[in-house]
């Protein structure tokens, strides 16, 4: 490829929402620098946004890099960049193991990517740039969002805790908080662009304000979101139980557009394991928060994360987790088997639990959480819910169903009445739940069921994006066509 031709890119993302959000920024940065999105496997630049938290993250990365080595031999103009948590952690190891990589950049300097690519091309030599402190808050960088109707908004990065299984504090540093006005300005700009749902993002959203000394800052931020006209849905992830205060519950319950949904990681139900994990709450505190959330919002759905087989976890400890899970009755439980993460304190703890024991406990817990999920969903049958239409699954010709998320984030597949207008992604549909499975609900049309459609500004934004991607000129009131917009790949990202 010559320098005069437009170069194409693709970003491959591993890991959590923070990475998904950073990847939107990476795409935005590259597009601002003149790159255009290419076909997967055919692009001139491949960017890996890596994760150091999940098991086998490095094997997965080096496997992918091995495949690209062959491609690079066929096409020396192909550039490969590796960023994210694993890059921050392993820096020079990546170049030593895969010398055909062109750029390695860290979690604190994603804004450097276009310059590093250019420099690597010019100097014909790999560029490694890792900085230890955040240079630019990711949300201040241009973004190419995955969805027209829903957006992540980063309120903080980093974490001041020291959970012994977690590499995040080492890789993402101390908590840095954005100022409220900056966050609210970003949300207003997103709404002006057709976004009607935002998810406030941070490692510990409810310690937001610690940097500028305002303990009530998170609750105030939720309430301020309630004043933004046109913003229909506000979510957040993830809060820490130790820092969870009643002012947040009150703000959730009293702010019309904050959704009745709480994802709050439990990690273990055993107080001894929580202590070993260096998580400063205990199971009774956790259950107390849940009681107060349910008292304030009886219709709220609750979800959590649990690690099974943390070092030193006994059968009694595990049964404590099962007890808390049974009491909490989560709608969704994300279960993980503990595995050592190099660089974390827990990796060096004695009493690592044998793999077979972890597996057996994991399967027992899975049976419990699946049963609870089904029971909780069955309790939804007969209820009328409002669904934000996604494009997860196009309309199924056999069932005439579309999909979306209810206000409490449950996934709903709903039937569209024959002959009625097809809802667009971003529109809101009201329908009645008729069937339940552990991880989705069905709303088919019956004699007693309700169905109605509300067209939204997000649906209008989707129409505009579709028109632009089909190169259909969109005429304004004066009959002239505004500039073409980029095609958007619309999808609602799952929560972790
Ligand atoms: S709270 Fe614990 S698990 Fe969460 S990011 Fe901080 S150290 Fe990691």
> Measured from the CB, is residue 344 less than 6 Å from ligand 1?
no
Residue 106: which CATH number? 3.40.50.12160
Give Cβ neighbours of residue 364 (< 8 Å, ≥ 6 apart): 318, 322
Block mean pLDDT (10 aa), the chain, length 496 = 72 86 91 92 94 76 91 92 89 90 90 92 87 70 81 92 88 90 95 96 94 96 98 96 97 98 97 97 97 97 97 98 98 93 88 96 98 97 97 66 96 94 95 97 94 96 83 43 30 32
DSSP type of residue 457: H
Domain-embedded: residue 295: yes
Do 48 and 192 share a domain, yes or no? no
Domain-embedded: residue 296: yes
How confident is the model at residue 493, as a pLDDT? 33
Do 229 and 281 share a domain, yes or no? yes
The single residue listed with the structure tokens 């974390």 is 344
Do 284 and 156 share a domain, yes or no? yes
Do 208 and 255 share a domain, yes or no? yes
> Measured from the CB, is residue 169 less than 6 Å from ligand 1?
yes
Contact 8, 38 (CB under 8 A): yes
Give the ligand 1 atom nearest the CA of 166: 8
Do 92 and 153 share a domain, yes or no? no
Do 153 and 285 share a domain, yes or no? yes
Domain boundary among 129, 159, 176: 129
> Measured from the CB, is residue 18 less than 6 Å from ligand 1?
no
Domain boundary among 439, 455, 471: 455
Task: Provide the whole-model pTM.
Answer: 0.81
Do 124 and 166 share a domain, yes or no? no
Q: Dihedral, CA atoms, 282, 287, 289, 291, nearest 10 degrees?
A: -160
Domain boundary among 109, 129, 149: 129
Do 145 and 124 share a domain, yes or no? no
Do 12 and 149 share a domain, yes or no? no
118-123 contacts, C-beta under 8 A, 24 or more apart = 120/79, 121/79
Instruction: Print the SS3 string covering 7-25.
Output: CEEEEEECCCHHHHHHHHH
Domain-embedded: residue 357: no
Residue 429: which CATH number? 2.40.50.140
How confident is the model at residue 474, as a pLDDT? 44
How confident is the model at residue 445, as a pLDDT? 95
Domain-embedded: residue 317: no
Domain-embedded: residue 2: no
Do 430 and 295 share a domain, yes or no? no
How confident is the model at residue 357, as a pLDDT? 97
Cα 352 from Cα 276, distance rounded (Å): 12
> Measured from the CB, is residue 353 less than 6 Å from ligand 1?
no
Q: pLDDT tens for residues 342-370?
A: 789 999 998 999 999 999 999 999 999 99
Give the three-state DSSP class for 50.
strand
Do 396 and 419 share a domain, yes or no? yes
Q: Domain total for the chain?
A: 3
The two three-digit tokens of residue 181, written as one number = 């006005």
Among 436, 434, 390, 442, smallest CA distance to 413 is for 442
Q: Which domain holds residue 298?
A: 141-303+342-348
> Measured from the CB, is residue 163 less than 6 Å from ligand 1?
yes
How confident is the model at residue 56, as a pLDDT? 72
How confident is the model at residue 135, as a pLDDT? 66
Cα 292 from Cα 151, distance rounded (Å): 29
Q: pLDDT tens for residues 6-44?
A: 899 999 998 877 888 889 999 999 999 999 999 988 999
Domain-embedded: residue 217: yes
Cα 122 from Cα 102, distance rounded (Å): 11
Cα–Cα distances in angstroms (integers) from residue 272 to residues 201, 282, 310, in the given order: 29, 9, 11
Domain-embedded: residue 325: no
Choice from 204, 268, 286, 307 to test ligand 1 binding pocket (greatest atom count within 8 A of CB): 204
Do 248 and 178 share a domain, yes or no? yes
Domain-embedded: residue 495: no
């Amino acid at each position: 490829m010559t320098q005069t031709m437009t170069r194409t890119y693709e970003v491959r993302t591993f890991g959590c929402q923070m990475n998904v959000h950073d990847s939107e920024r990476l795409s935005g940065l590259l597009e601002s620098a003149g790159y255009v999105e290419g076909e997967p496997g055919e692009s001139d630049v491949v960017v890996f946004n890596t994760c150091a938290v999940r098991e086998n993250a490095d094997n997965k990365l080096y496997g992918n890099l091995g495949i690209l080595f062959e491609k690079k031999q066929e096409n020396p103009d192909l550039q490969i960049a590796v960023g994210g948590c694993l890059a921050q952690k392993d820096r020079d190891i990546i170049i030593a193991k895969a010398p055909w990589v062109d750029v390695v950049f860290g979690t604190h300097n994603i804004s450097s990517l276009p310059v590093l690519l250019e420099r690597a091309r010019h100097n014909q030599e790999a560029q490694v740039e890792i900085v230890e402190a955040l240079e630019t808050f990711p949300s201040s960088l241009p973004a190419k969002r995955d969805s027209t109707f829903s957006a992540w908004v980063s309120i903080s990065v980093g974490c001041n805790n020291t959970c012994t299984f977690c590499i995040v504090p080492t890789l993402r540093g101390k908590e840095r908080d954005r100022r409220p006005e900056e966050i609210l300005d970003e949300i207003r700009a997103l709404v002006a662009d057709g976004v009607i749902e935002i998810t406030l993002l941070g490692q510990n959203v409810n310690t937001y304000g610690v940097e500028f000394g305002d303990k009530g800052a998170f609750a105030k931020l939720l309430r301020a979101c309630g004043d933004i006209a046109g913003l229909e849905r506000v979510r957040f992830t993830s809060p820490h139980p130790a820092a969870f205060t009643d002012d947040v519950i009150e703000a959730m319950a009293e702010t019309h557009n904050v959704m009745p949904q709480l994802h709050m990681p439990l990690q273990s139900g055993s107080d001894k394991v929580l202590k070993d994990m260096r998580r400063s709450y205990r199971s009774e505190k956790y259950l107390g928060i849940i009681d107060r959330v349910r008292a304030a919002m009886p219709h709220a759905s609750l979800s959590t994360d649990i690690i099974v087989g943390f070092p030193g976890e006994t059968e009694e400890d595990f049964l404590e987790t099962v007890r808390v899970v049974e009491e909490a009755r989560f709608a969704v439980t994300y279960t993980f088997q503990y595995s050592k993460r190099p660089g974390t304190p827990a990796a060096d703890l004695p009493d690592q639990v044998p793999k077979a024991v972890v597996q057996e406990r994991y399967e027992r817990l899975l049976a419990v959480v699946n049963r609870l999920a089904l029971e909780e969903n069955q309790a939804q049958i007969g209820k009328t819910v409002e669904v934000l239409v996604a494009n997860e699954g196009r309309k199924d010709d056999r069932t005439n169903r579309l999909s979306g998320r209810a206000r409490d984030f449950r996934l709903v597949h709903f039937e569209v009445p024959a002959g009625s207008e097809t809802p667009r992604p971003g529109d809101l549909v009201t329908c009645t739940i008729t069937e339940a499975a552990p991880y989705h609900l069905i709303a088919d049309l019956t004699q007693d069921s309700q169905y109605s459609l509300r067209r939204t500004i997000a649906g209008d934004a989707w129409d505009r994006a579709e028109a632009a991607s089909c190169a259909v000129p969109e005429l304004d009131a004066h009959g002239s066509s505004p500039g073409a917009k980029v095609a958007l790949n619309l999808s609602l990202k799952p929560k972790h």
